[in-house]
Amino acid sequence: MKEKLQVNHLSKTFSLSAKQQKIEKTKEKYRNAVNDLSFSAYEGEIFGLLGPNGAGKTTTLRMLSTLIKPDSGDAFIDGKSIVKEPEIVRGKIGFLTSELKMEDYFTPNYLFDFFSDLHQVPLDVRKTRKEALFSRFGIDQFAEVKVGSLSTGMKQKVSLTIALVHNPDVIIFDEPTNGLDVLTAKVVTDFLQEMKAEGKTIIVSTHIFSLIEKICDRVALIINGKLITCDTLPNVMNGLSLEDRFFEIYSEMVGDEI
């Protein structure tokens, strides 16, 4: 198994604004969102980052995608540093989030071309790739329709294709099935499995146990920014359902509080 992503002691702390302190009813000035996180992901696997709300999943994925810088630590994709070589890393990854806001005014066609230009995808390659992806996701018939009038599911499919314009080796997907109905969620998970079969590395974050059980080969459990365990799915589950195993681990951590 070839190591594709190596995460080395990543940490990130945010200062909390007065407004945020009020909303979260805390006097803390800082939030240690990611705390000394290390793990690896391999070629041809779906790796799941599992954790409850506020665990630090999105912060981790945003660092891996070079959108924000870690305070300390580093991560490497094919040996390229997210801190020192972010441009090279960006060419190797596709980052997707269910919270991605696409400008309503633009059409799928325009957005695909715009992002292909950003990644300097040659025109002939772009054309073939666009045809294949638009057809795969049934976007063809909506190619000239403004994104603002598309359904949530179709918007998610469009953002998926846009993240893949440069055919990245590593796909990083924050909460892939958030807000999707079962049919669209299946289109997305089927596609991730196809990408895995092609040898891509897929990193997903979620708090949904069934999603991890369904598609992930290995899983890292994070709570309060810290890595609790990282192993193959069967090893983490240890003969239980993932949900039961999570509560077992969680109650060992916090005693009788739950």
Ligand X SMILES: Nc1ncnc2c1ncn2[C@@H]1O[C@H](COP(=O)(O)OP(=O)(O)OP(=O)(O)O)[C@@H](O)[C@H]1O
* Number of residues forming the site for Mg ion (CB under 5 A): 2
Binding partner of residue 44 among Mg ion, ligand X, none, CB under 5 to 8 Å per kind? none
Structure tokens belonging to residue 74:
């580093």
Q: Contact between 206 and Mg ion (CB under 5 A)?
A: no
Q: Which is nearer to ligand X, 178 or 193 (CB)?
A: 178
d(CA 179, CA 153): 8
Q: Contact between 58 and Mg ion (CB under 5 A)?
A: yes
The nearest distance, CB 173 to ligand X, in angstroms, is 13
Q: Contact between 184 and Mg ion (CB under 5 A)?
A: no
Residues that bind ligand X in the complex, under the rule CB under 6 A? 14, 16, 20, 31, 33, 51, 53-59, 207
The nearest distance, CB 51 to ligand X, in angstroms, is 5
- x-or-dash string of contact with Mg ion, 62-101, rule CB under 5 A: ----------------------------------------
Binding partner of residue 48 among ligand X, Mg ion, none, CB under 5 to 8 Å per kind? none
d(CA 48, CA 64): 14
Binding partner of residue 65 among Mg ion, ligand X, none, CB under 5 to 8 Å per kind? none
Q: Tell which residue, 150, 208, 200, 201, has the closest CA to residue 177.
A: 208
